[in-house]
Amino acid sequence: KVIRPKLSQDIGTARELGDLKENAEYHAAREQQGMVEARIRDIEGRMQNAVVIDVTTIAHTGKVIFGTTVEIANVETDESVVYQIVGEDEADIKKGKISVGSPIARALIAKEEGDVVVVKTPSGVIEYEIIEVRHI
């Protein structure tokens, strides 16, 4: 609601400057407008296909599923880390939230405490043991 009108105004102002063939302001505004419109289409598409999942209604099976919080330990170093399995748009590694489509989450899904999983990462293959599975 804010950016679209501003871009239209910028394009109008740039048009007033004359010849559009060599008008850098006009071309920059049009390019930015194209990027904004593409982003809007992307967001609208995601919203149309979005499904809200209330993780509090999912049965507690003890297995890793979407919405669970999992503590895993590197088998080799015994270093542990806690992750919550979330949707793609919610992922934030700094907050311990990993996308359900990430290599670690894909390896963990449907596993349970005590299982050892093999995760293929860019830095190599790592084995993790599932220490704890918590449902929110």
Grouped pLDDT means (10 residues each) for the chain, 136 residues: 75 70 75 88 84 74 91 96 92 95 95 95 92 90
Tokens, residue 50: 């979005």
Q: Where do you find CATH 1.10.287.180 in the chain?
A: 3-49
Domain 3-49: CATH architecture, name and number where available: Orthogonal Bundle (1.10)
* Distances 69 to 27, 51, 64, 135 between C-alpha atoms, Å: 48, 20, 8, 6
Q: 24-49 vs 3-16: helix axis angle to the nearest 10?
A: 160
Fold of 55-134: Chitinase A; domain 3 (3.10.50)
Comparing CA positions, the residue from 80, 78, 64 lying closest to residue 115 is: 64
pLDDT at 19: 64
- pTM of model > 0.75: no
pLDDT at 57: 74
The DSSP annotation for 57-74 comes to GS---SB--TT-EEEEEE
pLDDT at 56: 74
